[in-house]
Amino acid sequence: FQPVTPVVLLIFNPMLKKRDDFEDMLEERRNSSDLRYALKCYTPVLYKGLTPCKVSELKQMVLQSDQLGYVITQVSKEKGVTSDEVTGEAAAILEEMAQRLQLSTVRFFAFTLSKVFKTLFRSICINEEGLQRLQQAIHNHPVVLLPSHRSYMDFLLMSYILYTYDLALPVIAAGMDFMGMKVVGEMLRMSGAFFIRRSFGGDKLYWAVFSEYVKIMLKNGYAPVEFFLEGTRSRTAKSLTPKLGLLNIVMDPFLKGEVFDISLVPVSISYERTLEEALYARELLGVPKPKESTSGLFKARKILSEDYGSIHVYFGQPVSVRSLAESRVNRSQFNLIPRHIPTRPSEEILSFVNDSAYRLVRAQEENMVLKPWVLLAFVLLQKQAAEEKQGTALDELTEQAVWLRDLSRQYGAFLHWPDHIPPSEVVSSSLSLHRGLVRISEGRVQLALEQGLLYPGFVILSCASYRNQALNVFIRPALLASAIHTAASNRKQEIYNSFSFLRNMFSNEFILCPGATVQDFEEACYLLVKTGTLQINQQEVLITERGHRTLAFLTSVLDPFLQGYQVVCRFLCEQDGLTEKQFIPAVRKFIIKHLLTGRLRYTEVLSSDLQKNALAALIRLGAVQKIKGNNYCFNVFPSEARNRGL
């Protein structure tokens, strides 16, 4: 591999990361009238090139656009129906999709959410400098907001914040499943949500209406467009590999020269306690997700009585699409085809969008605020897997947490550890917030595992979801640590090979940008050398005296995943092929068997997310083949899987 130059290495230096301070926006809500707040004068700064238009005019613009016109003609020819009929169809799609942003609804939400937020959360902390940057960005260029997605709360929260700070309200791409909730769906629509079907693969007309609708809103600077790069809520609190469809659409107007630039603003929303905590764990264990319904929402009212700690929302540095594309994309490739004719994006564009998406997700990850509890989750899970039945003494737990605190800070984690409070108090207050997950008796702490198998599963997966919040901090060093562990010698090249294999294996599991193996390796080496864990010379990688503890910790970070993938492999090796539907239940049964016999230590392997990722990785690597037929069969090549070192 080719080493990266030292200049590039500077980017990795976590100490160089500068972050803004937070302000609690709920504080003012607690001290002044919510009603007056909801009725306040709202005059946001708008895009400088905006020609104001109404919701209905927007729809007209879409229906009359050359882009849609072209597809309508095409579809009408293919289906042999009149173009009027197709236009009618398009209008219906648009009707189903379109938002109807209304200030009065927003004010209603502002009022109710104030009440709700005040009961649920201790504070909602915002970096106000980020909002100032956002305001500037909205004035100068069309803006796309890209929040992380951990909870249903996310988009209500986003609009709530923007309303509070007098910023332009966004239009939000939402999944069609919300439409199921009749009243709420319509209300969301009136607060700026537009609804898209989850899958519309081959439907040309739908795609045309949808992409044109988004582009027109964006180009005209009608409102910031907001969507979730991850596509859906992450049940595990790890960032999901980004979905590219919408990003492709919003970058298109820039690439085709229809706007001068577009600002992409990554937003990191971190919850101290996710509202859906228990729901997610249940879902991962295979208890199906309840369908969204209004009555379901009311049932969820009981959560109102609990304490969910604080939320941190960090508005990141706006990323200019123009600067992303500079010396990457040759925009003149769009010169030879009229721009209203839809074309499949070239390989070059696809890889550009993909890389940009990874960059943006990483930008989200980097500004996620981590609470002390996240570090405690690391320790507690590791102890649990080590089968320490009596639990951990509070002192020991505190010591380990402090050690982890220092380590994670060195790796650039955005840790909110109150340094003015003694560590023991920090630990005990964290434990009390999550008292549902831990049991403290006689000064010893352990996870609240009761009898049976499924219930501990809930607790462990909930706990793992907190630990996962910090995985992005450790993932590269952890891959390196595991690579050192598995490599046959300490030769640098060999360790790199092993690193590269592991990284490739886990690229469905973690945010690891395809093609950036060398950079990731350099970054990991840089961090471990800087923190005195390793010494690296031209040829060899040496572990220092005090490096063993760090390495042991880092290896244990990746261990559950390694073991999980191994179990999935072992399971597949014993199969002669099975359908996609059968896979999850069958593998789950297999894992439970292994857990009960004690051959597998990590209960978290029960997570269907991990199982799916493992399968996807094995398919990607060619160890498992997907045969298309009447029933989707997986043809396993066991020898191959074994050969690959699992």
Partner 1 sequence: MPSQVTHELLLICTCLCSCLSLRSTPHQLCRVQSQGCKASICILISQNSNRIVTVVEIYIFAKQAQPRILTCTYIHFFHRQEIMKWNGWGYSDSKFLYNKKGQAEFTGKRYRLSGMIIPGLREWMESTFSANLQHKTPAAPILNSSAVQPPTLNEAFLKELKSTGIPFSHDAEDRVFRSHGHCLHEIFALREGKIGRVPDLVVWPNCHNDVVKIVELACKHNVCLIPYGGGTSVSSALECPPEETRSIVSLDTSQMNRILWIDEKNLTAHVEAGIVGQDLERLLNESGYCTGHEPDSMEFSSLGGWVATRASGMKKNIYGNIEDLVVHIKMVTPRGVIEKSCQGPRMSTGPDVHHFIMGSEGTLGVVTEVTMKIRPMPEYQKYGSVVFPNFEMGVACLREVARQRCAPASIRLMDNEQFKFGHALKPQVSSIFTSFLDGLKKFYITKFKGFDPNRLCVATLLFEGDREKVLQHEKQVYDIAAKFGGLAAGEDNGQRGYMLTFVIAYLRDLGMDYYVIGESFETSMPWDRVLDICRNVKARIVRECKDKGVQFPPLSTCRVTQTYDAGACVYFYFAFNYRGLILFCSREEILANGGSLSHHHGVGKLRKEWMRESISSVGMGMLKSVKDYVDPNNIFGNRNLL
Chain residues that interact with partner 1, rule: CB under 8 A: 257-261, 330-332, 334-335, 338-340
To partner 1, the closest distance from the beta carbon of 338 in angstroms equals 7
The three-class DSSP label of residue 225 is strand
Tokens 């350099």 correspond to what residue?
Answer: 522
To partner 1, the closest distance from the beta carbon of 327 in angstroms equals 10
Pick 73 or 330: Cβ nearer partner 1: 330
Spatial CA neighbour of 609 closest among 590, 589, 592, 584: 584
To partner 1, the closest distance from the beta carbon of 260 in angstroms equals 4
Angle, helix 66-79 to helix 55-64, in steps of 10 degrees: 60
Pick 332 or 537: Cβ nearer partner 1: 332
Pick 331 or 435: Cβ nearer partner 1: 331
Spatial CA neighbour of 453 closest among 461, 465, 445: 461
Pick 253 or 391: Cβ nearer partner 1: 253
To partner 1, the closest distance from the beta carbon of 43 in angstroms equals 21
The three-class DSSP label of residue 199 is coil
Phi/psi of residue 489, each to 5°? -140, 180
To partner 1, the closest distance from the beta carbon of 335 in angstroms equals 4
Give the tokens for residue 48.
């400088």
Tokens 């004010």 correspond to what residue?
Answer: 107
Pick 340 or 644: Cβ nearer partner 1: 340
C-alpha 549/C-alpha 533 separation (Å) is 9
Contact (Cβ atoms closer than 8 angstroms) between residue 234 and residue 509? no
H/E segment holding residue 312: strand 310-315
Q: What is the Cβ-side half-sphere exposure of residue 398, based on CA atoms within 13 angstroms?
A: 14
For residue 469, which amino acid is it? Q
Query: Where does residue 44 rank: exposed (0-12), middle (13-18), buried (19+ CB within 10 A)?
Result: middle
C-alpha 416/C-alpha 373 separation (Å) is 10
To partner 1, the closest distance from the beta carbon of 20 in angstroms equals 24
To partner 1, the closest distance from the beta carbon of 66 in angstroms equals 8
The β-bridge relationship of strands 392-393 and 310-315 is unpaired
Pick 204 or 340: Cβ nearer partner 1: 340
To partner 1, the closest distance from the beta carbon of 588 in angstroms equals 52
Following DSSP, what letter does each residue of 499-512 receive, concatenated? Answer: HHHHHHHTTTTS--
Give the tokens for residue 213.
């609708």
Pick 180 or 338: Cβ nearer partner 1: 338
Pick 69 or 638: Cβ nearer partner 1: 69
Pick 140 or 293: Cβ nearer partner 1: 140
| Sign of the torsion formed by the C-alpha atoms of 101, 103, 109 and 114 | positive
The three-class DSSP label of residue 32 is coil
To partner 1, the closest distance from the beta carbon of 328 in angstroms equals 12
Q: What is the edge-to-edge ordering of all strands in the sheet holding 438-441? A: 392-393, 444-447, 438-441
Pick 122 or 339: Cβ nearer partner 1: 339
To partner 1, the closest distance from the beta carbon of 130 in angstroms equals 22
Contact (Cβ atoms closer than 8 angstroms) between residue 92 and residue 1? no
Q: Check residue 262 and give left, alpha or beta (phi > 0: left; psi -120 to 50: alpha).
A: beta
Give the tokens for residue 367.
């500004």
DSSP structural state of residue 241 = P
To partner 1, the closest distance from the beta carbon of 117 in angstroms equals 40
Pick 326 or 576: Cβ nearer partner 1: 326
C-alpha 447/C-alpha 387 separation (Å) is 11
C-alpha 439/C-alpha 431 separation (Å) is 9
Pick 340 or 485: Cβ nearer partner 1: 340
To partner 1, the closest distance from the beta carbon of 180 in angstroms equals 41
Tokens 């059968």 correspond to what residue?
Answer: 582
To partner 1, the closest distance from the beta carbon of 322 in angstroms equals 9
N- to C-terminal Cα separation, the chain:
24
Pick 1 or 260: Cβ nearer partner 1: 260
| Rg, Å, the chain Cα set | 25
